């Protein structure tokens, strides 16, 4: 497929404009969009804010290569850009991330028969949320799985905490986003080591992630401590 302007490039994919309404997301290293596309189509049916897909998303109906996904072009900054530009506060960013996680986990699982399982994003952080005129929209569904919601909270918290524990200019604002997210976690959510082990599982997954640099991996212990420190005491 003919591609236009490169709109964005993350760790795994390039996203090109097709026109004002559609973009092409293409894996650089031969990943497969099929599973993520089916989840996006299902979530859209349930009113969850994801980019609309062009054409039928179901397995076997797609005509594009498995590395390619054509979806609605979103207009607006990412939540990270909005944070850096000062158009959203760190507290708002954390609260919006928490709301997106809560809403995602209120959708019934698509395939799992375990009633505790939900669709998980597993990479829901401020660079994977775009702030559009219609509200925040969640992109980058390549890691999606079904499982316990605490694991999704653990992954989001740990991703933020790794940045907050580092020494870049982002550390201070991202620490405030993390504090806000953890405040919005809610007393019923099991994430910590003493609850369900979901945070430990999130750490294991992050440590095994080949796209993480050595310096990022080194921050995992400090990141875990920071989450403990910033988690509000529960009565």
Ligand X SMILES: Nc1ncnc2c1ncn2[C@@H]1O[C@H](COP(=O)(O)OP(=O)(O)O)[C@@H](O)[C@H]1O
Please give the residue ranges that form the binding site for ligand X (CB under 6 A): 7-8, 10-13, 15, 23, 25, 51, 71-74, 78, 127-128, 139-140, 142
Cβ distance to ligand X smaller for residue 4 or 108 = 4
25 or 175: CB nearest Mg ion: 25
Query: How far apart are CB 13 and ligand X at their closest, in Å?
Result: 4
153: number of CA atoms within 13 Å, CB side? 32
The stretch near Mg ion (CB under 5 A) out of 5-13, 56-64, 86-94, 208-216 is 5-13
- By a kind-dependent CB cut-off of 5 to 8 A, residue 26 interacts, out of Mg ion, ligand X, none, with none
Nearest-CA neighbor of 48 among 149, 120, 151, 148?
Answer: 120
To the nearest whole angstrom, how small is the minimum distance from the Cβ of residue 235 to ligand X? Answer: 38
Q: From residue 43, give the alpha-carbon distance in Å to each of 22, 144, 146, 225.
A: 19, 12, 13, 34
* Residue 28 or 228 having the CB closest to ligand X: 28
The nearest distance, CB 145 to Mg ion, in angstroms, is 16
- Tokens 């990412």 belong to residue: 78
Of 129 and 182, the one with the shorter C-beta distance to ligand X is 129
Q: Report, in Å, the least distance between residue 231 CB and ligand X.
A: 27
- One of 128, 144, 162, 196 touching Mg ion (CB under 5 A): 128
Query: With respect to ligand X, which residue has the nearer C-beta, 15 or 160?
Result: 15
Shortest Å distance, C-beta 6 to ligand X:
9
Stretch that binds Mg ion, among 46-54, 83-91, 124-132, 208-216 (CB under 5 A): 124-132
Contact 57, 50 (CB under 8 A): no
Minimum distance from residue 110 beta carbon to ligand X (Å): 20
Residue 235 corresponds to which tokens in the numbers above?
């009565």
Pairwise CA distance, residues 235 & 232, whole Å: 10
10 binds Mg ion (CB under 5 A): yes
Residue bearing tokens 């954390």: 94
Strand partners, 136: 131
Which residue number is nearest to ligand X in terms of Cβ?
A: 10
For the chain, count helices (H), then strands (E).
8, 8
Helices within the chain (DSSP H only): 34-45, 79-85, 90-104, 149-164, 171-183, 198-207, 214-218, 220-230
- Kindly report the number of other CB atoms within 10 A of residue 92's CB atom: 15
Q: Is 140 in the site for Mg ion (CB under 5 A)?
A: yes
Which residues of the shown chain bind Mg ion in the complex (CB under 5 A)?
10, 128, 140
């Amino acid at each position: 497929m003919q591609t236009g302007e490169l709109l964005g490039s993350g760790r795994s994919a390039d996203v090109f404009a097709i026109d004002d309404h559609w973009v092409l997301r293409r894996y650089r290293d031969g990943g497969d969009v099929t599973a993520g596309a089916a989840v996006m189509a299902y979530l859209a049916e349930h009113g969850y804010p994801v980019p609309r897909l062009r054409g039928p998303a179901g397995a076997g109906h797609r005509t594009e290569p498995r590395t390619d996904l054509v979806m609605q072009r979103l207009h607006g900054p990412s939540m990270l850009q909005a944070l850096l530009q000062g158009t959203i506060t760190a507290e708002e960013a954390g609260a919006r991330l928490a709301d997106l996680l809560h809403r995602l986990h209120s959708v019934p699982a698509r395939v799992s028969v375990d009633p505790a399982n939900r669709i998980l994003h597993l990479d829901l952080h401020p660079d994977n949320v775009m702030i559009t005129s219609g509200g925040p929209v969640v992109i980058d569904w390549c890691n999606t799985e079904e499982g316990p919601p605490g694991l999704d909270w653990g992954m989001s918290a740990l991703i933020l905490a790794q940045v907050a524990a580092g020494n870049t200019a982002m550390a201070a604002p991202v620490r405030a986003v993390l504090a806000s997210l953890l405040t919005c976690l809610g007393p019923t959510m099991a994430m910590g080591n003493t609850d369900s082990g979901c945070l430990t599982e999130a750490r294991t997954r992050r440590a095994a992630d080949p796209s993480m640099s050595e310096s990022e991996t080194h921050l995992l212990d400090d990141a875990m401590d920071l989450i403990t420190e910033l988690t509000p005491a529960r009565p």
